[in-house]
A and B are shown apart, each in its own frame.
Chain A
């Protein structure tokens, strides 16, 4: 999609996913790391759980399909080379604190002098302006200040940060959209511009109905954990884990389902038809429903619900999601080869890599396996184990892209430290191999 678009990637973990999004669509992304490799290479988890800068899975995932060069931006010679790269690129994505960027002449004003068409995307904790612009941030701070944490967790627990690094994820999406919007505009004007993304705002902008409820009804959303106190959904225990049930608009169907098993009791009374009454006596509703759900497995309830077109779902563990038949049928997982690991392992010592997503079978699809939301036993289905290509290559299955577009989707493994130095410095900038040697000796690259 984006073949021909050239991007320089100066991001840390806050927006490393932004350039991945663009690389996934075919843009040429050159990741610039400090000599010796980026510090994000030390973020776990690691391949075989052994820390090593070429084995960070977080680095692998977020830098797939990128090129990698090393360059010291804090010395003059490095900055000169960087300016040459800037003059040839379309987009720069960076996450430096605003003052630091200015000091290194990496701010928009300095860069636009080199290249009028440059699109610069800056992603920071609180943005480039405002009283907090110099404040430090990270995922938990963004989650807190963006309003996410306060509404996650239960009424009797502290606020809870959603799993993963959601603020980096959404900030990267917003930045990537900003870049494509600016690119479209550039076709008309011939000029680039500066995109300013704040983690705090990125989180706040994805709060769903929270602002609407406040600005229109004055409602301050609270933590409600398992149950929506407005009576529209709940998480209830089953024989083998938890089920997500919607219970408001589908009330009559629900009562029927319970009644079929002789478990509806007083819920058949007319007063329960009133959703406000149900909200007022929500504990009783939950108690009655729980008695019913506990007699069933997640798979039974989930399929029953979907049969009635109710948006119910099993509360899956991560392996259950990975083994979902829907994901494998849609080829969501893509094979990525890691030849560099095969050689480091040595002959005969190679352990077969894990796994190909399970094609079909009972795991992951309906019906669901037992095991509950606690992880089931690691899956070792025939056909998922032992993926070695030829004699040399190791191949792993990465989560792919969530869209189907024109053309076949391919993914390359993340670059090794300085892997494309020669290609970029000699091929692109026309430096000689002597230049390269000297730069290396001077620790510029």
Chain B
């Protein structure tokens, strides 16, 4: 069997919540040794080792317990830094320096250490200490405002009269998407810094702003503003600037079931009409060519929905895709868990956890042919690897470890 791609890379992991653990999980998936430092203060809530969340984002990592507020913890961390390649943290910028663990302090004991600090707003600037969740970042970035329909929507609750009259209500994304995005940039930059270190012999401090990471996903709209003064507005499910019709999300048979369809060529339109068995309307003048269809989108969509509503989204997708047309089921999480394509590609895997038992998790979407990801197992229990790390790696004696435990440094 091949060696794992990142075998031999040791990562000291101070991350918590979602963005950071998502990043170090990816590194662990490909064979890096990730040592999660768990402090009593942080190891609760979503960071409680026996929750599904913790198990999901921390699989395959090692855990040591260390009471970071104890003055002796710092020296133990510095000893670990000496034998690590990378230190990753996603606290607000004050935390690591307050522990005496700024990049400069780490570099004193390990000159080529790579330290990655990821925070909501970055390590500098007037907003650096702001508190943020993924949703906060999304609101800041503009995507919450931009992800909506380009018309006024009836408010769903009697408690809300819909804000100012005539406004488009922001809907935003239904989940914390900004966190994994920031985590991906963290993995990407750490790997690049490792390349650089191996070539140049130098470590560095990487400063990632979750806000900026997310703004990168809106790059074209930003440029359209800085260059043209154009101002992006909500597009709903419209094709935006790409030329396409029919295009959109169509209601299908069943409760809250939908299929998206996206046509871009005349050839596809012909194939589409064939799948629908050439209904009379398909031969009408107003749908005869692309620009005509584009002018009659509402009528066209209504007629198409009369067809889709008679079929399940799976049928619509299958019929259209077999005819060479882009289409896809709007899948909820249950659909995803049963999706034949995802199952065939082993997108889900089972992990056995000593407390939670057997559970399912999503695999990495990065599929390498020769050295694929290998999930080592469940997330660790607190301090599960104290022995390996403190005695094995740091060479502490049994007495030393006992003393640290007695003094409350290791718990």
Contact = CB atoms under 8 A, between A and B. Distances in A.
A145 to B, nearest CB: 4
Interface string B316-343: 0000010011111111111111011110
Given A162-B147, A200-B342, A374 B167 contact: yes
Given A215-B359, A402-B215, A396 B223 contact: yes
Interface stretch (B290-298, B365-373, B401-409): B365-373
Contacts of B341: 126-127, 130-132, 145, 198, 200
Nearest to A191: B370
B345 interface: yes
Q: Specify which of B56, B196, B332, B356 lies most central, judged by the most chain A CB atoms within 10 Å of its CB.
A: B332
A1 to B, nearest CB: 4
Interface stretch (A72-80, A262-270, A279-287, A417-425): A279-287
B15 interface: no
A101 interface: no
Contacts of B137: 313
A197 B333 CA distance: 20
A244 B206 contact: no
Contacts of A332: 209, 212, 215
B230 interface: yes
A48 interface: yes
Nearest to B216: A402
Contact of B191 (A180, A197, A204, A206): A180
A193 interface: yes
Interface in A195-238: 195-198, 200-202, 204-217, 220-227, 233, 235-237
A43 to B, nearest CB: 7
A162 B134 contact: no
Given A49-B230, A404-B207, A182 B217 contact: no
A44 interface: yes
B235 to A, nearest CB: 6
Contacts of B98: none
B64 interface: no
Contacts of B335: 147, 150
Interface in A147-184: 147-164, 166, 169-171, 173-178, 180-184
A83 interface: no
A96 interface: no
A317 B145 contact: yes
A316 interface: yes
B220 A403 contact: no
Interface string A62-93: 10000000000000000000000000000000
Interface string B351-366: 0000010011110111
B6 interface: yes
B219 to A, nearest CB: 5
A260 interface: no
SS of A interface (majority): mixed
A183 B327 CA distance: 35
Given A207-B175, A399-B216, A201 B342 contact: yes
A405 B171 contact: no
Interface string B211-237: 111111111111111111111111111
A49 B223 CA distance: 12
B212 A205 contact: no
Contacts of A317: 142, 145, 231
A149 B366 CA distance: 22
A242 B170 contact: yes
Interface in B294-324: 321, 324
A204 B368 CA distance: 18
Interface residues of B, number: 156
Contacts of B381: none
B394 interface: no
B288 interface: no
A363 to B, nearest CB: 13
Interface stretch (B73-81, B255-263, B273-281): B255-263
A60 B333 CA distance: 36
Contact of A404 (B122, B162, B211): B122
Interface stretch (A322-330, A342-350, A426-434): A322-330
B395 to A, nearest CB: 27
Contacts of A405: 189, 192-193, 204, 206
A5 B176 CA distance: 34
Contacts of B223: 57, 60-61, 396, 398-399
Interface in A256-310: 283-284, 286-287, 290, 306, 309-310
Contacts of A141: 260, 262, 326-328
Contacts of A200: 341-342
B231 A375 contact: yes
A108 interface: yes
A184 B31 CA distance: 12
Contacts of A6: none
B227 A325 contact: no
A235 to B, nearest CB: 6
A221 B333 contact: yes
Interface string B179-214: 111101101110111111011001010111101111
A300 to B, nearest CB: 16
Contacts of A206: 177, 180-181, 184
Contacts of A373: 145, 167-168, 170
Contacts of B212: 327, 330, 332, 400-403
A197 B344 contact: no
Contacts of B157: 227, 283, 286-287
B142 A320 contact: yes
Contacts of B154: 156
B156 A225 contact: yes
A324 B218 contact: no
Contacts of B237: 140, 158-161
A222 B211 CA distance: 26
A314 B142 contact: no
B93 to A, nearest CB: 12
Contacts of A146: 331, 336
A182 B191 CA distance: 10
Q: Specify which of B123, B158, B341 lies most central, judged by the most chain A CB atoms within 10 Å of its CB.
A: B341
A225 B153 CA distance: 11
A164 B221 contact: yes
21 contacts: A47-B228, A61-B219, A131-B341, A144-B330, A158-B237, A160-B236, A163-B147, A163-B221, A163-B234, A173-B185, A174-B184, A181-B30, A193-B369, A210-B333, A216-B356, A244-B135, A318-B145, A355-B226, A402-B208, A402-B215, A406-B193
The 5 closest A-B pairs by CB, nearest first: A287-B159, A216-B52, A237-B163, A402-B212, A201-B365
Given A61-B223, A197-B365, A316-B139, 20 more contacts: A1-B195, A2-B196, A145-B341, A146-B331, A152-B174, A157-B171, A166-B217, A180-B195, A182-B5, A188-B3, A202-B365, A212-B361, A244-B139, A306-B130, A315-B172, A322-B222, A372-B167, A398-B226, A402-B213, A403-B213
